[in-house]
Every structure is written in structure tokens, then in C-alpha cells.
Amino acid sequence: GNSVTQMEGPVTLSEEAFLTINCTYTATGYPSLFWYVQYPGEGLQLLLKATKADDKGSNKGFEATYRKETTSFHLEKGSVQVSDSAVYFCALSDNAGNMLTFGGGTRLMVKP
């Protein structure tokens, strides 16, 4: 079956530091890949997505590239802010009805 593995947190960074959150997946066929973010007290929000190999998704300074050869979709941001503190979820959807399979989430804490 499908699975998503992401690095465990919490990840603690100082403001303006570089961020990488690793995500790897196992799936048959050609899944679509997503990063969702959950801010404190709020619901899941789509951060970015990529639907085919070598696509780069980007939003709010975050980006991730769909790497089929390494089955990865790592999330990066060049300079994090305190407001980026949240839980980040990597997810994939396959051809069978677009059902999402999520990783366990990575909590990011950014200190001023």
C-alpha cells in the first residue's frame, strides 16, 4: 500500500534560518504529492502541491520538487519566520479516487 515518511520533529530554528523537512513516499503508479500546514488552533491548509515528476510546487516562500528517482518531496524555505511555526504534513494521492495518505507530521518551532 501507499505510505509517506517524514522526519520527526520538533524542528526548532531561529528566525531567518534555512528550513528543510524531509519527506519520502512509497506508492504504485504516479501519485500527486502535497504539503499541508496546520497552524495552532486551525484546520489543515494546502501549502503546495506537485502532480508529476520534476514539478516544483511553491507558495509563501516554501518550495518542494517532485523527485521520482528518489521518491522524495522535501519541503524547503530559505528564511523562516516566527509565523511559520506550525505542523507540516506531507501527503500523496493516487489514482484511486484521490484519497490522501499522510505522513505523521513535523512540528516546526521558529524562535525570534
Partner 1 sequence: EAGVVQSPRYKIIEKKQPVAFWCNPISGHNTLYWYLQNLGQGPELLIRYENEEAVDDSQLPKDRFSAERLKGVDSTLKIQPAELGDSAVYLCASSLGSDRGETQYFGPGTRLLVL
Look at the alpha carbons of 103, 78, 108, 8 in this order and tell me if their dihedral is positive or negative.
positive
31: contact with partner 1 by CB under 8 A = yes
Which of residues 78 and 104 has its CB atom nearest to partner 1 in the complex?
A: 104
The answer to the question of residue 1 lying near partner 1 (CB under 8 A) is no
Residue 83, helix vs strand vs coil: helix
Asked whether 81 and 41 are in contact (CB, 8 A), the reply is no
Q: Which is nearer to partner 1, 14 or 99 (CB)?
A: 99
Residue 86: name the closest of 34, 52, 17, 38 by CA.
38
Show contacts with partner 1 in window 32-71 (CB under 8 A): 32, 36, 42-46, 49, 51
Say whether residue 93 binds partner 1 (CB under 8 A): yes
Could you tell me the sign of the dihedral formed by the alpha carbons of 111, 38, 8, 18, in that order? Answer: negative
Q: Where on the chain is the footprint of partner 1 (CB under 8 A)?
A: 4, 30-32, 36, 42-46, 49, 51, 89, 91, 93-100, 102-105
